[in-house]
């Protein structure tokens, strides 16, 4: 089983997978508790716009996706804060609009190509050393921001009114949470694919929540589920020639079904 690591591209894929499997559920649990789960899917479509623009400008697509996703997170939070549009309407606006613009940009780039398809669905062989460096740097930034702002993110996720009463700047921390989600989505493109990263952020959390543990223990269990799913997905991709992104999400679904059936009587 360890012969898989004799290949450089698999070493890079596992390294990237570990980074993503840790930060995705750590951010995802705040989104689930706050009922922001659909933001992950919206940001994944927004990041495709960044990928399309990067292909035209010939820059690293992960970097392009990061820029566009973070900018979009500012836009979504500002529009949501105006109360002139419902939260669901804002998400639909950014999701459909960014996807449409991405398709137009790809059209200018002389049609869809194999490089572009590695981003919606993930491709373990496309993870480069430069990608790993970006993932490591921004992954550490996400972990650092969670550690520094853990209490604040916890409070705004469970009850914004209590957070305001405690003197927290709720709008600022909402924005921080969405930006961290945008970074996570962008980093996960290579391994899971942007169309499936939302599932990796949400499903392991839902599985862990079935055990009725404390918030912190639920986070840890969600990371464990996510990590196992990524490892199984990468092994399956190498040995059975299955799509890594799809396999990873299927494994998370299996964990959810098992967790739900095991704990439904509680």
Give 143's pLDDT tier (boundaries 50, 70, 90). very high
| Overall number of domains in the chain | 1
Residue 191 has pLDDT above 60, yes or no: yes
Structure tokens at 177: 């949470």
CB 121 within 8 A of CB 189: no
Give 240's pLDDT tier (boundaries 50, 70, 90). confident
Residue 113 has pLDDT above 60, yes or no: no
Residue 48 has pLDDT above 90, yes or no: no
* pTM, two decimal places: 0.86
CB 229 within 8 A of CB 200: yes
255: CATH: 1.10.3470.10
* Residues of the domain holding 198: 2-263
Residue 208 confidence (pLDDT): 94
Residue 147 confidence (pLDDT): 93
| 85 dihedral zone (left: phi>0; alpha: psi -120 to 50; beta) | beta
Task: Average the pLDDT over 155-172 and give the result.
Answer: 86
């Amino acid at each position: 089983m360890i012969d898989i690591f004799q290949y450089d591209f698999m070493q890079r894929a596992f390294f990237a997978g570990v980074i993503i499997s840790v930060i995705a559920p750590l951010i995802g649990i705040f989104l689930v508790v706050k009922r922001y789960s659909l933001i992950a899917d919206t940001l994944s479509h927004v990041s495709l716009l960044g990928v399309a623009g990067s292909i035209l400008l010939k820059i690293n697509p992960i970097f392009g996706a990061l820029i566009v996703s973070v900018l979009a997170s500012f836009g979504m939070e500002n529009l949501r804060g105006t109360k002139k549009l419902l939260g669901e309407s804002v998400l639909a606006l950014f999701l459909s609009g960014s996807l449409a613009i991405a398709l137009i940009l790809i059209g200018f780039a002389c049609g869809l190509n194999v490089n572009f398809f590695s981003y919606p669905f993930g491709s373990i062989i496309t993870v480069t050393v430069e990608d790993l460096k970006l993932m490591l740097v921004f992954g550490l930034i996400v972990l650092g921001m969670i550690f520094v702002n853990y209490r604040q993110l916890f409070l705004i996720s469970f009850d914004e009114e209590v957070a305001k009463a405690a003197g927290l700047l709720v709008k600022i921390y909402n924005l921080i949470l969405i930006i961290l989600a945008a970074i996570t989505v962008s980093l996960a493109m290579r391994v899971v694919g942007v169309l499936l990263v939302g599932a990796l952020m949400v499903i392991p959390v839902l599985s862990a929540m079935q055990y009725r543990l404390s918030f912190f223990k639920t986070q840890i269990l969600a990371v464990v589920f996510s990590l196992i799913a990524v490892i199984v997905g990468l092994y399956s991709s190498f040995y059975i020639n299955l799509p890594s992104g799809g396999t990873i999400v299927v494994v998370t679904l299996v964990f959810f079904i098992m967790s739900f059936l095991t704990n439904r009587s509680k």
